[in-house]
Amino acid sequence: MKLEDVMRAREKAYKILKKAKIAVTPHEKDNIEVVDFGLNDLDHYGIEVVVYETNDRYCAKELALFPRQICPEHYHPAVDNANIGKQETFRCRWGEVYLYVKGEPTPKPKAIVPKGHEKYFTVWHEIILKPGDQYTLPPHNLHWFQAGDEGAVLSEFSSANIDEKDIWTNPKIKRIPTID
């Protein structure tokens, strides 16, 4: 990603967070992590992250998603004997989120996957999160999610977070952003 793309995405994410009435400090606004998953396609794939706290025991974040933006399919593996994998709870604060997990596939899911990428989405049990709804994922569970037509904000509360250890269905994914 180019720095100007990151700056534009930060501003767009900040506007979504304001719509959701999420208080963000100037420091947090300037440090919104823009994640394009190495795909250089923020219109379809990405998350914009405000990290409140991350340490060896827990993590708290806000995830802003642009309209129809996807966080691709992945899971959080065990890292070592002390870290059996990330458990996370998503709470919808604003907008609508379509979360997909293992289970009976939903006959008519609301998600729209870009053409040619369908093979990277294997779990289709749909959970719709609206403001106030939440869902907890135990470690090792494949999942992915997409914002609705207006975008969305999710609060994420989790056990220790080591993003670079996540396992992605699409082998081209890079969780840690690279800025040119």
Here the CATH number for the domain that contains residue 65 is 2.60.120.10
What does the pLDDT read at residue 81? Answer: 83
In a domain, 159, yes or no: yes
Domain presence at residue 180: no
Per-residue pLDDT of the chain (180 residues; tens, 9 = 90+): 899 999 999 999 999 999 999 999 999 999 999 999 999 999 999 999 999 999 989 999 999 999 999 999 999 998 888 888 899 999 999 999 999 999 999 999 999 999 999 999 999 999 999 999 999 999 999 999 999 999 999 999 999 888 888 999 999 998 877 777
**Does the residue 179 lie in any domain?**
no
In angstroms, the Cα distances linking 2 to 8, 40, 179 are 10, 9, 6
Q: What are residue 98's DSSP bridge partners?
A: 128, 146
Query: 134-166: buried (b, 16+ CB within 10 Å) or exposed (e) per residue?
Result: ebebebebbbbbbbbeebbbbbbbbbbbbeeeb
Q: Does any domain span residue 14? A: yes
In this structure, the number of other CB atoms found within 10 A of the CB of residue 38 comes to 17
Q: Output the six-digit token pair for 112.
A: 């729209």
The answer to whether residue 65 sits within a structural domain is yes
What is the domain extent for residue 132? 3-168
Say if 175 falls within a structural domain: no
Residue 100 lies in a domain: yes
Q: Which two tokens stand for residue 45?
A: 């794939």
Q: Which residues contact 8 (CB under 8 A, 6 or more apart)?
A: none
C-alpha 150/C-alpha 113 separation (Å) is 16
Residue that the structure tokens 């037509």 belong to: 149
Domain total in the chain? 1
In a domain, 108, yes or no: yes
**Dihedral angle of Cα 39, 23, 156, 99, to the nearest 10 degrees:** -60
